[in-house]
Amino acid sequence: MPSHVLIMAAGQGTRMRSHRPKVLHRLGGLLLVEHVLRAAQSLVPKSTSVVIGHQAERVRAGLSGHKGLKFAVQLEQLGTGHALLQAMPLLRDQRGTLVVLSGDVPLIQPSTLRRLLATHHETSAAVTILTARVERPYGYGRVIRNGGRLIRIVEERDASDTQRRLNEINGGIYALDLEPLFNALGDILRAGAADEIYLPSLVTTCRSRGLPVETVEVTNPDEVRGINSQSELAEVRQIVRQSKNEELMAAGVTIEDPATTYVDMDVNVGPDTVIHPGVILEGRTHVGARCELHAGVRIVDSTVGDDVVVNNHCVIQRTRIERGARVGPFAHLRPETEVGENARIGNFVETKKTTLGQGSKANHLTYLGDATIGADVNVGAGTITCNYDGDAKHPTTIGNGVFIGSGTELVAPVSLEDGAYIAAGSCITDDVPAGALGVARNRQVNKGGWVGRRKAPSDQTTTGS
């Protein structure tokens, strides 16, 4: 039978104290709800739907990159059962099993969802619920059993003192047979202290109809941890970060201080790479083998080849760095930068939309924007490509083997052909032919005695009684 997935993402998350919808907070480089979507993909569902409500259009926009999603809107948040009813038009004509997930439970594992679905099918259950035994059950619905069999689920606010001492909780994840589902939902009335339609009430409804109800207990309670506050999000971030660092270290990466190393879920790092304290690797970054990333480096959505050294406190964004290159310290490589094999980017160098060819170097205090630079070029300290005229950006093209003296301004659009030399302190506004020396500076004039004549009489030092 086909499976379908429905993700609950309508809540406001008031305890987050944030204007951002709870499911759009980030964890390990992904939105909370994206973690859930990834786990659900392992079921190869026939359809995937999301119930949205609070800031619905913002949540829809946040998930715009996920093709094929369907959305149901819950205008009033009247409980999880009510949320499921809003999805009725999307699912009424479907057959099979519906897996209901929570958009704020990001640690759920694909293997657990497959086990839930397998148990549901093997037992021919109408409802199968994922449960967990936790040390701190506060805030969760409690699982009530009689002789080991599930009788009902009681919400925290409706539980008695005795029931609150139970530590088996409802994980908020369900497998439901679609055929009897909506008829059963229609029989559930608003109830409890919150006067809401509770989805766990399906347990009582199905049992009253003689339909089988089953449970699956997770082996790791963290899988069903819901995130309702900033402190809970921070706790889960620590779990995700530790898991990712352990994955990298198991693959041969040296992480000197895992507690201060932040690596997103989709980052790849090759073996024998050394990561020093305070390194942050974000997005879809790929770092090759035998690299060394020194303290304070931040790399975002970039590709770093093998044997690359990135010195302290560099920021690298949407950049490609080839094998054997060296960067930094204190360099800023902005989007669309390409650093060639064995090239050098030194301290306090900024690049943007620039290609630096093989073996070329810009070692000090330089800005290179909208520039294409060939192989074996020397860019002297303090060189600036003046690429913006106030209205538009213009390119600078530098050929192979060019030598640019210190303190040079290259006013784009301008081209320096192969082998050209530029005298230090020049302001180049015209193209320089191959093999030529470009000099663009005024002749120095020294005016003798100027300093003394400039001083006013009041500035002169006087003596007397």
State both tokens at 403.
């030598």
Average per-residue pLDDT for the chain: 93
Q: How far apart are CA 265 and CA 373, in angstroms?
A: 34
DSSP H helix total and E strand total for the chain:
10, 39
* Range with the largest mean pLDDT of 140-154, 155-169, 354-368: 354-368
| Position 124, amino acid | S
- Whether residue 8 is predicted with pLDDT greater than 70 in this model: the reply is yes
- Is the backbone peptide bond immediately before 433 cis, with ω within 30 degrees of 0? no
- β-bridge mates for residue 71, sequence order: 50
Q: How far apart are CA 74 and CA 443, in angstroms?
A: 76
Q: What is the pLDDT of residue 191?
A: 65
Rounded average pLDDT over 228-257: 97
- Whether residue 193 is predicted with pLDDT greater than 80 in this model: the reply is no
pLDDT digits (tens, 9 = 90+) for 402-431: 999 999 999 999 999 999 999 999 999 999
State both tokens at 315.
């920021």
Q: What is the pLDDT of residue 459?
A: 54
pLDDT digits (tens, 9 = 90+) for 57-79: 999 999 999 999 999 999 988 88
Question: How many beta carbons lie within 10 A of that of residue 449, not counting itself?
Answer: 7
- Whether residue 463 is predicted with pLDDT greater than 70 in this model: the reply is no
Q: What is the pTM assigned to this prediction? A: 0.91
pLDDT tier at 369, thresholds 50, 70, 90: very high
Of 178-182, 260-264, 325-329, 454-458, where does mean pLDDT reach its minimum? 454-458
Q: What is the pLDDT of residue 12?
A: 86
Q: How far apart are CA 292 and CA 17, in angstroms?
A: 39
Rounded average pLDDT over 273-299: 98
CB 181 within 8 A of CB 166: no
pLDDT digits (tens, 9 = 90+) for 85-133: 899 899 988 899 999 999 999 999 999 999 999 999 999 999 999 999 9
Q: How far apart are CA 171 and CA 180, in angstroms?
A: 22
Q: How far apart are CA 373 and CA 204, in angstroms?
A: 72
CB 202 within 8 A of CB 125: no
Q: Which residues are catalytic?
A: 364
Per DSSP, helices labelled H in 309-400 are none
Q: What is the pLDDT of residue 458?
A: 58
Residue whose structure tokens are 């003798």: 448
| Position 87, amino acid | A
Q: What is the pLDDT of residue 59?
A: 97
State both tokens at 395.
């390119």
Q: What is the pLDDT of residue 73?
A: 96
The rounded radius of gyration (Å) of the Cα atoms in the chain is 32
**Which of 212, 219, 261, 210 is CA-nearest to residue 107?**
219
Q: Which residues of 132-170 are buried (b: 16+ CB within 10 A; e: fewer)?
A: bebeebeebbbbeeeeeebebbbbbeebeeeeeebebbb
Q: How far apart are CA 185 and CA 183, in angstroms?
A: 5
pLDDT digits (tens, 9 = 90+) for 430-440: 999 999 999 99
State both tokens at 141.
């619905």
The angle at the Cα of 412, spanning 406 to 415, to the nearest 5 degrees, equals: 75
| Position 22, amino acid | K
297: helix, coil or strand? coil
**Which of 428, 387, 390 is CA-nearest to residue 407?**
428
pLDDT tier at 464, thresholds 50, 70, 90: very low
pLDDT digits (tens, 9 = 90+) for 15-47: 999 999 999 999 999 999 999 999 999 999 999
CB 431 within 8 A of CB 417: yes
Of 49-63, 168-182, 317-331, where does mean pLDDT reach its minimum? 168-182
Q: How far apart are CA 314 and CA 40, in angstroms?
A: 37
CB 422 within 8 A of CB 403: yes
Task: Please state the φ and ψ torsions of residue 255, each to the nearest 5 degrees.
Answer: -115, 110
pLDDT digits (tens, 9 = 90+) for 263-281: 999 999 999 999 999 999 9
- Whether residue 465 is predicted with pLDDT greater than 50 in this model: the reply is no
| Pairing verdict, β 213-217 and 127-133 | parallel
110: helix, coil or strand? helix
